[in-house]
Amino acid sequence: MASIEKNLEIIEKKIEQAKKHADQNVQIIAVTKSVSVDRTKEVLKAGLIHIGENRPEGLLAKKEEIKDQAVWHYIGTLQSRKVKQVINEIDYLHSLDRLSLAEEIEKRAEKVVKCFVQVNVSGEESKHGLREEDVIPFIQSLQKFSKIQVVGLMTMAPYTDDEDVIRKVFQDLKRIQQEVVNLNLPYAPCKELSMGMSNDYEIAIEEGATFVRIGTALVG
* Cα gap 103→72, rounded to integer Å: 21
Q: Does domain 4-219 have CATH number 3.20.20.10?
A: yes
Name the pTM for this structure. 0.97
For 50-99, what is each residue's pLDDT tens digit?
999 999 999 999 999 998 899 999 999 999 999 999 999 999 999 999 99
The pLDDT tens digits along the chain (220 residues) read 789 999 999 999 999 999 988 889 999 999 999 999 999 999 999 999 999 999 999 999 999 999 889 999 999 999 999 999 999 999 999 999 999 999 999 999 999 999 999 999 999 998 999 999 999 999 999 999 999 999 999 999 999 999 999 999 999 999 999 999 999 999 999 999 999 999 999 999 999 999 999 999 999 9
**Other CB atoms within 10 A of residue 206 CB:** 18
| C-beta separation of 189 from 151 below 8 A | yes
- Give how far Cα 139 sits from Cα of 57, 84, 116, 190, Å: 29, 22, 10, 10
Domain residues of the chain, as ranges? 4-219
- Give how far Cα 150 sits from Cα of 9, 45, 103, 177, Å: 32, 30, 14, 11
For 37-54, what is each residue's pLDDT tens digit?
999 999 999 999 999 999
